[in-house]
Amino acid sequence: AQKITQTQPGMFVQEKEAVTLDCTYDTSDPSYGLFWYKQPSSGEMIFLIYQGSYDQQNATEGRYSLNFQKARKSANLVISASQLGDSAMYFCATKGTDQAGTALIFGKGTTLSVSS
């Protein structure tokens, strides 16, 4: 079984500051992926970043980086230089990658509010 835990219901940060959103996971899959999605108030889920369980380096995509600590089963999202447009709900998710086409298991999300 797979489970994602996001313990921060809400986070507040000022513009240009960095912020870390926490995610811990539990999975029985030997090979798995970790994903972060952003959901603005409009409702669409926007893919941000992916980390494979066998990737040696932490994933980065522009201002987003994933702090992957396999032994601690954590996959925290770091957003550098926050912008007002980063205000949204953020979801961590996982899926097995041993076979094609498995569905995502999501956490409950963290609401990020960026102020000027």
Chain residues binding other proteins by CB under 8 A are: 4, 31, 33, 35, 37, 42-47, 50, 52, 91, 93, 95, 97-104, 106-109
Q: Which CB atom, from 82 or from 109, has the smaller least distance to other proteins?
A: 109
Q: Which CB atom, from 52 or from 115, has the smaller least distance to other proteins?
A: 52
Euclidean distance between the first and final Cα of the chain, in Å?
41
Q: Rounded CA gap, 57 and 54, in Å?
A: 9
Nearest-approach distance from CB 116 to other proteins, in angstroms: 27
Nearest-approach distance from CB 17 to other proteins, in angstroms: 26
Q: Which CB atom, from 13 or from 106, has the smaller least distance to other proteins?
A: 106
Q: Torsion-angle region of residue 63: left (phi > 0), alpha (psi -120 to 50) or beta?
A: alpha
CB atoms within 10 A of CB 65: 19
